[in-house]
Amino acid sequence: MARIFITGSSQGLGFLAGQLLIEQGHKVVLHARNTERAEEIRAKLPACDAIAVGDVATMDGMRSIADQVNALGKFNAVIHNVALGNKEEYVKTSDNFSELFAVNVIAPYLLTALIERPERLIYMGSGMHRSGDPALSDPQWFNRPWNATQAYSDSKLHNLILSMAIASRWSDVLVNAVDPGWAPTRMGGEDAPDDLVKASSTQAWLAVSTDPSAQVSGGYFYREKQCSMHPITDEVDVQNNLIQYLKTITGVELDSRESL
């Protein structure tokens, strides 16, 4: 039996992954943005072990979630599922971040840095990362006309760069990313062609499976098979630049032992 924490799991793929893992006999802690959402989760999935509550669009919310998770003890796996999609309006948060960048990139970084290191980490990618721009000249769209689709693609590329940077730094953790496909979630829309259950199963599989193909690090998976990602994700200078940027804007180091 493993203990797994899943961000962004009040609905959609995160909820389905949690439900699957609970059915397999694992202890799962889910996450909701507020108490109302948490009550909805508890009503739908009373077998979940606990629910962390906090808004990942804010630094205070991210820190609160990390504190709640750490108070529950060490986890075997953390699934960074939470994300905003490619149709969002431009919003600036109370921390002066782009909301989309805060949720899709800063939150995975900060929660990774603040939650006690698990045995496995899983990050949610998207096929749209392949059209993303890794440049850090204006990653939060402070100075450009807002383009939600491009901003989402950029954020998903940054998310994969982050996951590969962590994989290269933390040799004691299995770190992988998932392409869920285009599934009919609230984000994907009801006309999305991929299977909803299959879209959620790979992250659950990577969190707990003893299959040798799941016990690897630095991979990008679709339907439990490794697939290719943008080659820039493996460039060390690109990884270092993103980690440095996130460290600068959050004031939090990924790891005191890292060498930038």
Catalytic annotation present for 198: no
Which residues have CB under 8 Å from 39's CB, separation 6+? none
Residue 143: CB atoms within 10 A of its CB come to 7
Residue 227: CB atoms within 10 A of its CB come to 13
Q: Which two tokens stand for residue 172?
A: 């004691």
Of the candidates 27, 109, 123, 152, the residue annotated as catalytic is: 152
121 forms beta bridges with 78, 175
The DSSP string of 197-256 is HHHHHHHHHHHH---TTTS-SSEEEETTEE----GGGG-HHHHHHHHHHHHHHH---S-T
How far out from the chain centre does Cα 79 lie? 6
Catalytic annotation present for 156: yes
Of the candidates 109, 156, 220, 222, the residue annotated as catalytic is: 156
Which residues have CB under 8 Å from 179's CB, separation 6+? 125, 126, 127, 220, 221, 222, 227
Distance (Å, whole) CA 21 – CA 29: 10
Which residues are tagged catalytic?
152, 156
